[in-house]
């Protein structure tokens, strides 16, 4: 993993904490949340205040995530909103924390200037002991305050001020006035600068979770379903009609189709589909070459990969051949490839449609098309790091070099080209499409490639 770290592809954009005052604030918050402290005088923290160095010191990767279902956080600066979120057990944690910080940035900036803000993503579930408990996650509330309880004290002061204004004899109530003065010394003038935190409750109908080997849950769509990474039978009975696993390619494809959640890359507006297909083919070639012991690695050129393709000949993977057929249609007017969800290349040809579930669907597609290492890195970092550790050294060298040289230079541009504008900038998702064939998918059901 050292290669990824040095290129900023792992633990990149973490916030360095080395000022004694910030370390002391962090320890106060950590003591309040977990009863523990760190002896480190410098470390790095992520969006939620998790530190890999402190986790190593404590021997606990979940020191801010007890039982993996109630994420705690420590904010020392609003700059944390741009940091990654490590060890995420749920896909929606990052968006909830980011939205909370952005909605309360001015207040949090003021609060963190004098103290740490500690809190929790709170829900009604305290332990995910069975898969069925995942369906109890419906709403997450962000509960936060400084270690000195500035928010709570400010709310108390605001109540006393309101009482002072309304009660006719309040001017002669020395106890009330003394309480107000004492609280004001701590919170400041809440009439001019209210200490309030808004946007603290979020609906969570759709998410991915790492629990039970990985599970995608879609409940806000017209035809809800749960999609398990492992065998669905292992999950037992769940309170949802449609339960699939990744081995059921046709069922998963049909689910995406009838809910209008995915579209062929070649139909996406404003994209260079040919360039995207070629890059996917390169990634597949690298996998095939390293598996067969052919030379690849850092600095491998496309010309070298073409030579690999020629040497492989009939041994070229089905994924590569399917994408090559589609590329011939895109660039050379070749015949439309008859490709349904049984084909190994099918999910490599798809991307999520625009809408609130865009990132979750692209995460699912990355898991269904794991040889596309760029999409895997962007959309499903947990899986990327896990697979990276198992790859041969030449493939690790090639992938790290590519991501550091190509993707890191223009992350936003690459994401826009691959997946379209961010969800909050996009138009509403298209209406669900229902013209299905026996083996679902636009490739086999569309004559000439057009509906």
Would you list the DSSP string of 364-397?
HHHHHSTT-HHHHHHH-HHHHHHHHTTS-HHHHH
pLDDT at 122: 86
pLDDT at 229: 97
- Answer for the pair 156, 183: CB distance below 8 angstroms, yes or no: yes
Q: How far is CA 264 from CA 86, 351, 379, in A?
A: 31, 6, 18
pLDDT at 313: 79
pLDDT at 164: 61
pLDDT at 216: 98
pLDDT at 432: 37
- Answer for the pair 207, 112: CB distance below 8 angstroms, yes or no: no
User: Hey, what are 373's tokens?
Assistant: 């290492």
What is the rounded (10 degree) CA torsion for 283, 289, 290, 294? -140
- Answer for the pair 103, 41: CB distance below 8 angstroms, yes or no: no
d(CA 431, CA 253): 16
- Tell me the per-residue pLDDT of 287-302, one tens digit each, with 9 for 90 and over: 888 887 776 667 677 7
pLDDT at 170: 64
pLDDT at 362: 97
3-state secondary structure of 45: strand
User: Hey, what are 203's tokens?
Assistant: 């609906």
d(CA 444, CA 437): 8
pLDDT at 315: 80
The b-or-e profile of 236-272 (16+ CB within 10 A means b, else e) is eebeeeebbbbebbbbbbbbbbbbbbbbbbbebeebe
pLDDT at 113: 80
Instruction: Give every residue of the chain whose pLDDT is below 50, as ranges.
Output: 189-195, 425-451
Give the count of beta carbons closer than 10 Å to the beta carbon of residue 302: 12
pLDDT at 183: 59
Provide the angle, in degrees to the nearest 10, between the axes of the packed helices 93-103 and 105-112. 80
Query: What is the helix (H) or strand (E) element at residue 150, kind and residue range?
Result: helix 150-166
pLDDT at 309: 81
């Amino acid at each position: 993993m050292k290669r990824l770290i040095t290129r900023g592809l792992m633990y990149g954009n973490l916030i360095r904490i080395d000022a004694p005052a910030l370390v002391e604030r962090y320890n106060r918050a950590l003591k309040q949340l977990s009863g523990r402290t760190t002896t480190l005088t410098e470390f790095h923290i992520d969006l939620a205040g998790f530190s890999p160095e402190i986790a190593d010191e404590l021997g606990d990767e979940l020191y801010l995530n007890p039982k993996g279902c109630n994420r705690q956080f420590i904010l020392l600066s609003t700059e944390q909103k741009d940091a990654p979120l490590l060890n995420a057990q749920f896909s929606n944690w990052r968006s909830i924390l980011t939205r909370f910080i952005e909605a309360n940035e001015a207040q949090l900036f003021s609060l963190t200037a004098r103290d740490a803000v500690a809190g929790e993503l709170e829900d009604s579930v305290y332990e995910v002991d069975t898969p069925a408990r995942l369906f109890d996650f419906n709403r997450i509330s962000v509960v936060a305050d400084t270690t000195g309880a500035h928010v709570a004290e400010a709310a108390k002061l605001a109540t006393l001020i309101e009482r002072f204004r309304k009660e006719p004899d309040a001017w002669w109530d020395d106890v009330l006035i003394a309480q107000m003065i004492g609280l004001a010394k701590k919170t400041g003038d809440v009439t001019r600068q209210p200490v309030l935190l808004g946007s603290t409750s979020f609906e969570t109908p759709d998410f991915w979770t790492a629990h039970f080997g990985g599970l995608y849950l879609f409940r806000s769509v017209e035809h809800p379903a749960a999609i398990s990474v492992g065998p669905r039978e292992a999950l037992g009975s769940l309170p949802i009609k449609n339960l699939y696993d990744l081995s059921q390619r046709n069922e998963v494809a049909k689910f995406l189709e009838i809910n209008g959640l995915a579209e062929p890359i070649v139909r996406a507006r404003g994209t260079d589909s040919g360039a995207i297909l070629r890059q996917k083919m390169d990634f597949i070639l690298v996998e095939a070459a390293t598996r067969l012991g052919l030379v690849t690695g850092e600095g491998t050129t496309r010309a070298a990969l073409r030579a690999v393709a020629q040497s492989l000949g009939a041994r070229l993977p089905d994924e590569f051949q399917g994408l090559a057929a589609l590329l011939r249609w895109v660039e050379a007017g070749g015949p439309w490839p008859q490709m349904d969800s049984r084909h190994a290349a099918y999910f490599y040809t798809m991307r999520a449609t625009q809408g609130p579930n865009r990132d979750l669907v692209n995460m699912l597609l990355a898991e269904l098309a794991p040889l596309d290492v760029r999409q895997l890195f962007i959309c499903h970092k947990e899986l990327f790091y896990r697979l990276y550790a198992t790859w041969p050294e030449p493939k690790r060298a090639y992938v790290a070099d590519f991501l550091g040289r190509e993707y890191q230079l223009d992350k936003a541009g690459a994401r826009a080209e691959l997946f379209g504008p961010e969800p909050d900038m996009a138009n509403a998702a298209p209406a669900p499409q229902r013209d299905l064939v026996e083996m679902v998918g636009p490739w086999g059901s569309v004559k000439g490639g057009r509906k």
